[in-house]
Amino acid sequence: MRSVYADLPDSARYAGFWIRVFANVLDGLLFAAVNQLARLGAGAALGSTSHLAPESVLLTTLSPLVIVLCWMWKGASPGKMMLGLRIVDEPTGGRLTPWQCVGRYMMGLLVVALAGVGYVYLVIDPRKQGWHDKIVRTLVVRRGPTA
pLDDT tens, residue by residue, 48-104: 555 566 666 666 778 889 999 999 999 999 999 999 999 999 999 999 999 999 999
pTM of the model: 0.80
Separation CA 9–CA 20 (nearest Å): 19
* Side-chain-side CA neighbours of residue 72 (13 Å): 14
**pLDDT higher at 43 or 87:** 87
Q: Is the dihedral of CA 30, 35, 36, 41 positive or negative?
A: positive
DSSP helix/strand/coil, 28:
helix
| Cβ–Cβ under 8 Å, residues 87 and 139 | yes
